[in-house]
Structures are given as C-alpha cells and as structure tokens.
Structure 1
Amino acid sequence: MHSGESRRGPRTRTNMRLLRQLEFAFEQFATRLVERNDSAGQALRLPARQTATDAVALQLRGRDAGLETEASELLRSLGATRIATEIRVEWDPRLKTAAGRADYRQKLISLNPRLVEHPAEIDRTLRHELAHILAQSRAGRRRISPHGPEWQHACRDLGIADEKRCHTLPFPATRYAPRFIYRCPNCRRNFPRLRKIKRTVACLACCRAHNGGEFDVRFRLNLLRM
C-alpha cells in the first residue's frame, strides 16, 4: 500500500515544499526581529501579513533543486531527455512585474519570488516557461514565435492547454517620475521623459500639421529642465 505522501501529485508536492520554505524563511525573519528588539529593550511587533510575505519573497533567490527536478521529470516524460539534464530553475528578485522568464540558450527558467503570494500559480508559471524551452528544443535552429503554435503545442503537452501568452498576476508596476522635460517651441506642448534624448527630435503633431509629416527643425524639442 502506498503512503499518503506517494499519492500526492507534483503540484501538491510543489505547494507543500513552498509552504515549508515559507515557514522556514518566516521563522528566520521573525527570529532576527526578536533578537533585534530584545537587544533594544523594545516589544516585538510581528509584521503585517503583506509585509511578512514580502520579507519571505526577498529571501527567495538562486536555484531551486525541487523545481529543477520537477521540470526535468516533465521534460523526460515528453521525450526531451537531453535538455532534461541541462534545465535549471531559479528565483530571480530582479523580476519585478513578470511572473517568469525562459532563456533557451542557458536552459534557464527564472521565477519571480513574489509568486509566493500566489502559491497555486508556481506550478503553472513553471510549465508556461518550460513550454518555451520545449518548443524551441523541438524546433531546433528554426526561429519560432515566442507564443506561436509551437509554444501552444508544448503547453498542451505540459497540461496547460488553456494557457494565455501573458501572465495576469497582480504584480504592481514600478512607476518612475520623469527626469527630463522637453517642449515644442511652436505648440508649447511638454514631453516628459525618463532618459535624456540623445538625438535630434521634433514635435510630431507640428511636423504633420505644417510640414507634411516630415522632420522640421522649427519644431525641434528643447530641453527645459533635468
């Protein structure tokens, strides 16, 4: 008779492994808070749920042996034995809004640590990115569309036939204040930019209205402030 552990599917095992990682990371985080507050003679205040999740997410980085094993097993089950031995899976805190990323040349899948806020999406994101690796492996040297029919076929083989090309997880988008303000000398419209414009550009609306859409130096944008 098989034990309850052996009857659990790969997704259940993945979620349980993640929960254990979360518990361990949270214990470390809370212990450091206790030590720091005890030494200062202050009462410990545990972080709010969202803060605790963020703290755990920040600690997830580097390769994940468990997810690598799962990815390797999935590839082997589909006959992709060569890349099954090369595939690597890592947590990459540099990912901000994307749930994951696949790099075929390095046989590397990178996952956003903030997926810990959505444990049920970890397995699906892994398979989504793995489909990119599998599709390109099957195509060989032929260039394929990132989310074309080859990728869709790989998604079906990996058990996510209804997968969409983009993840819809509610990761907050990072917003930056513009550092440079340019102005058209004709219409006086301002053009905020994050980076300094290195080439000569003109106001498109004025060029269209007064010069048939062709570049006109009269409407060249001027830098107001940095």
Structure 2
Amino acid sequence: MSLCRRLHFHSGMPPSQVAPSLVDRVRVNDNNREPRQPLVLLVDTSGSMTADLPDLAAGLDGLRAALARDTVARNRVELAVVTFGGQVAVHGDFGEAAVFEPPALAAAGDTPMAAAIEQALDLLEAKKRAYRESGLDYYRPLVFLLTDGEPTDTARWPAAVRRVREAERDRRLVLLAVGTKTANFGRLKELSPDRAPLRLKEAQWDTMFQWLSRSLQARSRSRPGEEVPLEDPTGPRGWGALPS
C-alpha cells in the first residue's frame, strides 16, 4: 500500500478538542512550503525492553542521520517519537527531519500501548490541522509501532483498535506494527486485520531502520498521489518475518 496518496479532508477532531499540550508541538515551519510526510514512531520502553534499547537507540540515530543527509527528505519528512513504558510520553516537537533529535530512552514499567496509540492519533490530528491552517499539502501519515509484548491497559484497547481501523478504512493513515519474538502478534493483528504485523528477525534493528529511511526517502521524492510500493521486508535479505 502506498503511503504517498495526498489527502484533502477535515479532521474529525473539532478545534476545541485539540489538546493545548499538543499545539506547540505541532507548529509548522512556514518558511518550508514542501508537502509533508508525517511519521509517528510508537516505541515500547517497558521494563522488558531493557536489553533491546541500545539497538533501538542506535537505529533511531541511523534514521536521523540518513534523513538529514537527504536534501529532499530532510524537509518533507516530519517525525515524532511517542514512548510507552509505565507512562506515555511525547518527546520533543513533531518537526522536520532536518532538526530531529532522537530522545534518550530508558526502560521502565508496564506497557500502556492503547494509551500510546490514542496519543499518536491525537498528535496526528493536531499536526494535520496545523498543515491545513498553513496551506500545506501532506501525504498519508505513517504510524510505526515497535513492541516486545502486549498492551497492559486492556480496558482501553478496544477503543484504540476501533480508532485505528476507522482511520485505516478512511485512508487517513497507515499503521505498521513490528514485534520482537516475545510480542503478542494476535493483539497486534487486531489493529490492522488486512496488514499482518511483522516479527523482527534477531539482531536486525539497524536493517529495519535502514529500510524505514529508504522508504521515507522514496516517498518524499514522489509526486502526490503516486503509488510507491514498500520494499518487501520479508525477503531473503529482509529484516522481518510473518509471525507463525
């Protein structure tokens, strides 16, 4: 599925429901009139992720460097990092790759994945509103979810699933879920029934982030509405596999 279809629609979130805490985080650089490709990285930082965080942090830094070197992607791709470990946190501003700085990561607590997903969706709605108010075009947003487990805030999970499915159905975003071997792939499958979650192969963090950076660079060079297929991450040299 292409991520590059340009959308013109009104958010379902009335202006009064855009959280004040998000307004400053989604400000747009009006000196840059390029169309934008928004990406929210949803990163599991629960206690069980302790061993994986160094590789994850290195992957994020590699993503930063690759996008910053690309003279097109650095101005068109906009990133935000939302972590969930004990609590949900939005790190820094939702801004251009040219100024993106990966946050310091620390593992702790349980896995409030549903709350993190809803925070990501709220953040995207606020960002898209900012684009519209600035008269900027944007491509279909991408949410990239990384986890080694399953949601512990199960009471909120049905609402999060419903919101993701509605957004996918209305072509308002694409959610890609990736889990390590200990992830609950049944739960992840509920988010996007038509798109299987992927299992990260052992020690392939760097390869996964290289794939993500290439995908974003390719899309940033496309024309709005152009179909740009994803590289197959499950190929012989790929970083992912379909869960058994």
Same fold per TM (> 0.5)? Answer: no
Q: Shorter-chain-normalised TM-score: which range? A: under 0.3
Q: Which has the higher strand share?
A: 2
Q: Which has the higher helix share?
A: 1
TM-score by length of 1: 0.26
Tell which structure's C-alpha radius of gyration is larger: 1
TM-score by length of 2: 0.25
**Larger relative contact order (C-alpha < 8 A, sep ≥ 6)?**
2
